[in-house]
Structure 1
Amino acid sequence: MSTLDRESCCPSGARRYHHGNLRDALLERAAEVIGAEGIEALSLRALARDLGVSHAAPGRHFQTRTDLLAALAEDGVDRLIAATESAMAASGGDPVEQLRSLASAYLQWANEHPAHYNAVRNPEVVRCASPGLKAKMMRFAEKQRATLRQAQAAGWMVEVDLDLLMFQFVATLVGSATVISDPLYREVLGPICAPDRVGDIVERAFPRMTASPRFGEQARTRG
């Protein structure tokens, strides 16, 4: 391909590929496209054009768009888990504070990496998730459940069934993250979706996480 041809096939803002790791380049460009235009705009042919490689080149790494999304999702899950585990470790030993740190880190990560987060939640990826991705998600869910169990053992929300509490926690967390990582919602809702407002979202979405760890026990005693 001539220099002129290469320039003409690469739209403004795209990154041309220069004999490096094509797989990583495809994932990086896919994240850029999803972040700017949404998952619907993603295609292997367009990525090849953006990177200045042949239309067949992405097939050496990803046979389908779903394969690429699954790889992006698995990378995202690794990063998300690392971010939440780091935040929890830094929060000390109190399980309620660990839950708060987990929620804050989760939402912050989704806010700062919307493309990866949307790949994780994409129906195509969920439907065709690899065993490795499913295993990572299951381990992450069990980490949340274990921390909720520890918080209840410390007296927090003891009046709520653990399964129901897990459902409520995950639904609130995933729902909030989906909103702040979605381009349309970010545009509609405006400044509240900014990274520096994540703390406010956690305060509102998880109000009892800021209460006394013995709140549930006190409420039950009063009843």
Structure 2
Amino acid sequence: MNNEERIDKFLELQSEGIKFTEIAQNLKISQSTLRNFLNKKGYKSEKGKYILKDELKYKEDLDKEKTKEDNTNNIKKVSTKKKKSNEKVLNKSIEQIEFNDTDLKNTKARKNIKPKKDRKINITQEDLDKLCEVYDWYLEVKDYNIKPKKISNKKDVHIDNESLNELKTTRIRIDKETWNDFERLCSNSNFEKHQILTQALKEFMKKYKNLL
């Protein structure tokens, strides 16, 4: 029996479900010799069966391609299902905003007004796609705990009299930290620095009027 006949015989017995040990006995060679012989001829064991490496690679490529195709189909199915679900919700919402004025007949305040015909909103497919995108965004952010910014309750500086007399330009020295705080106060106020400074001096002199 030559090599080709031996391989054909092996593949025939293997296809019939005969175990590897029994095939080796049938071919009258040891298991290790048969295994080495098959490896030299380009066969590789795959799940207990010997297959040509080229056929095995082709099979693996087919399996990968099939897996990739299945994943793509699954993604398309999920996307289509999600889109249909969104369209159902939107269609239901659109039905709820249809104008129906037939109830005007029973309104006493509008006895002389003729009831208007039902009016519907015409929405194109492009508008529907945009609404779907907005609805998807809403589903993503609706559970976020977004708190509105608190409005500051700070009161502005009280100025006794906004109209000032003749202004006096002068130069004084002030502690740097105190001046920085003063500038920050002025930046948060609607009044100018000279107005706030004048008011501060008035209040100070009022407190120590005995020294005037």
Which TM class, normalised by the smaller chain length?
Answer: under 0.3
**TM-score where L is the length of structure 1:** 0.23
Higher helix share: 1
Task: Specify the structure having the higher radius of gyration (Cα).
Answer: 2
**TM-score where L is the length of structure 2:** 0.24
Q: Structure with the greater relative contact order (CA < 8 A, sep ≥ 6): 1 or 2?
A: 1
